[in-house]
Structure 1
Amino acid sequence: MAQNIVGVEIPAALVPYLHITQDGKTMDDKVTIFIVAGLFVSGIVTLEKAAELAGKSIWDFIDFLKAHDIPWGSYTEDEFKMDEHAIDDLLGGLNEQ
């Protein structure tokens, strides 16, 4: 499926920094991946949608996020407490043996 392309101007001062990054082969690729990462971090798009917009598999997009120290999974306080209880239950079962 063909994508509609929109031209965008970026400040010339950004270009040297974009050349430094190893993300993306072209300048368009580099700009796209960082815009998509910003949309993901802001909660505007899901992980799945971000990967799709970046033209990457979910796993490749996760690798990109990890390479840039961007958290990709949310872990709520409730999930943490549930895990603590599960670990306590498992350890309790091991101690009884």
Structure 2
Amino acid sequence: MQELTVSLNLPRDLLGVLDVPETNLSNRLRELIALELFREGLISSGKGGELVGKTKWDFIQLLARHNIPYFNETPEELVAEVANLEKLLDDKKK
């Protein structure tokens, strides 16, 4: 993955709000960006993990710690999706 370096001026008291030492600030900001991009549906959980240097599973756990749902479908949509998948499997067996 090609990287882009960005310079950003932030108020120093932001470190206190983020509860992170200055040496970890870039990692924390990368994490926050990945979480928000996932929340907006712009990246997958796999890409989120890649952005923060973790596995997909670790990223999913990070989502949970930030109360960001991994699935954004309603229960009805999930039931409909399972029914569609079952139908496809049944059709394939025939």
Query: With structure 2 as the length reference, what TM-score do the two structures score?
Result: 0.68
Aligned residue-pair number: 81
- Match 2:41 to one of 35, 39, 43: 43
> d(CA) in 1 for partners of 2:48 and 2:9?
22
Segments ≥4 residues shifted beyond 4 Å = 81-84
C-alpha change, 1:78 and 1:55, in structure 2 (3 Å) is same
Which 5+ residue runs of structure 2 have no aligned equivalent? 84-94
Residue equivalent to 1:65: 63
**What SS class does the counterpart of residue 19 from structure 2 fall into?**
helix
- Structure 1 vs Structure 2 CA RMSD: 2.7
The structure having more radius of gyration, on CA atoms, is: 1
Q: Percent identity?
A: 30
- The Cα offsets for residues 55-82 of structure 1, whole Å up to 9 and x where unpaired, read as 1100111111111111012334332356
> d(CA) in 1 for partners of 2:36 and 2:61?
15
C-alpha change, 1:83 and 1:4, in structure 2 (3 Å) is closer
**TM-fit CA distance, 1:17:** 1.2
- Which range moves more in the overlay, 57-66 or 72-81? 72-81
> d(CA) in 2 for partners of 1:45 and 1:11?
28
**What SS class does the counterpart of residue 12 from structure 1 fall into?**
coil
AA at the equivalent of 1:70: I
CA contact (8 A) 1:36 1:54 kept: yes
C-alpha change, 1:46 and 1:82, in structure 2 (3 Å) is closer
